[in-house]
Amino acid sequence: MSRLTPLPDAAKNPRMTQTPIALVTGASRGLGFALAELLSDTHHVVAVARTVGGLEDLDDRIKERGGQATLAPMDICVPEAMSQLCRSIYDRWGSVALWVHTAVHAAPLTPATHLDAKDWSKSVAINVTAMGHLLPYIGPLIGLNGKAVFFDDPRQGQRFFGHYGATKAAQISLVRSWAAETAKTGPDVRILTPSPMATATRARFFPGEDRDALLSPHDAAAQLLVDLL
């Protein structure tokens, strides 16, 4: 495991300069955790999340696979933290080959007239507002030849999904604009819709669902990477 501070001189570590960098935002659990683990087979993973324990578990799994990770226990909603992260990545490696964004806030289901102000603010901050600095900061690191991947979960307009559906739809709308703007020039901006997964988030949304019929996040990640890499 390495962390972003203090930073070693990349020129002294040939593997770091030769191995492509995968930046995973939201890497401490669920699909982000699984994707980061699998990507470590081919990339040096920069794993971003607020949950330190989850990141440390991820680092253990990556080491078991023979990979390497740099852990960034940061809040994507803090522009200054993301600015420091991107500057550190640039100074250390120069660019990012792949950005995978899985960070999301999934507020509890509730009628639209009963929206909780705290959950609404947190949903807007993580699912929408953070994108306003993540794209301008990370986009230049990807350049014209890299890839950026986002994950849709279209719940807008569904009963009781007011917090989540509205803010997730806003996020994906912004990403679709970026994808349209870069379709001819790059980078390769993709929006994927994973198969239903046995995650903690889905368990809160559908508590009576048969989880044995769902894919594990690891299996879903493996399916997604077949087309992605």
- pLDDT tens, position by position, 198-217: 998 899 899 989 999 999 99
Identify the pLDDT of residue 1.
Answer: 46
Average pLDDT value for the chain: 92
pLDDT per position as a tens digit, 77-89: 999 999 999 999 9
Q: CB-based contacts of 26: which residues, under 8 Å, 6+ apart?
A: 32, 48, 49, 76, 101, 102, 103, 104
Alpha carbons 110 and 31: distance in angstroms, whole number = 24
Integer distance in angstroms from the first to the last C-alpha of the chain?
24
Structure tokens given for 207: 């508590």
- Please compute the mean of the pLDDT values over residues 141-149 and round it to a whole number: 97
Identify the pLDDT of residue 64.
Answer: 97
Beta strands 69-73 and 2-3, pairing class: parallel
Structure tokens given for 59: 């680092």
CA distances from 42 to 9, 95, 160, 188, 226 (A): 22, 16, 40, 18, 13
Identify the pLDDT of residue 228.
Answer: 83
* Residue type present at position 73: P
Q: Which residue ranges make up each domain of the chain?
A: 2-223
Identify the pLDDT of residue 30.
Answer: 95
* Claim: this prediction has a pTM higher than 0.85: yes
Confidence of residue 14 (pLDDT cuts 50, 70, 90): very low
CA atoms within 13 A on the CB side of 173: 10
- Please compute the mean of the pLDDT values over residues 140-160 and round it to a whole number: 96
- Please compute the mean of the pLDDT values over residues 180-194 and round it to a whole number: 97
Identify the pLDDT of residue 15.
Answer: 39
The CATH superfamily holding the domain 2-223 is: NAD(P)-binding Rossmann-like Domain (3.40.50.720)
Structure tokens given for 107: 């507020």
Helix axes 52-64, 30-39, angle to 10 degrees: 30
Judged by DSSP in three states, 193 sits in coil
Alpha carbons 227 and 173: distance in angstroms, whole number = 22
Q: Which of 8-17, 37-46, 202-211 has the highest mean pLDDT?
A: 37-46
Whether 13 contacts 197, CB under 8 Å: no
pLDDT per position as a tens digit, 46-79: 999 999 999 999 999 999 999 999 999 999 999 9
pLDDT over 80 (residue 7): no
Judged by DSSP in three states, 27 sits in coil
Identify the pLDDT of residue 160.
Answer: 96
Helix boundaries (H) for the chain: 14-18, 30-39, 52-64, 79-92, 117-124, 131-142, 162-181, 200-205, 217-228
Is the backbone peptide bond immediately before 6 cis, with ω within 30 degrees of 0?
yes
pLDDT per position as a tens digit, 80-121: 999 999 999 999 999 999 999 999 999 999 999 999 999 999
Identify the pLDDT of residue 120.
Answer: 97
- Please compute the mean of the pLDDT values over residues 129-154 and round it to a whole number: 97
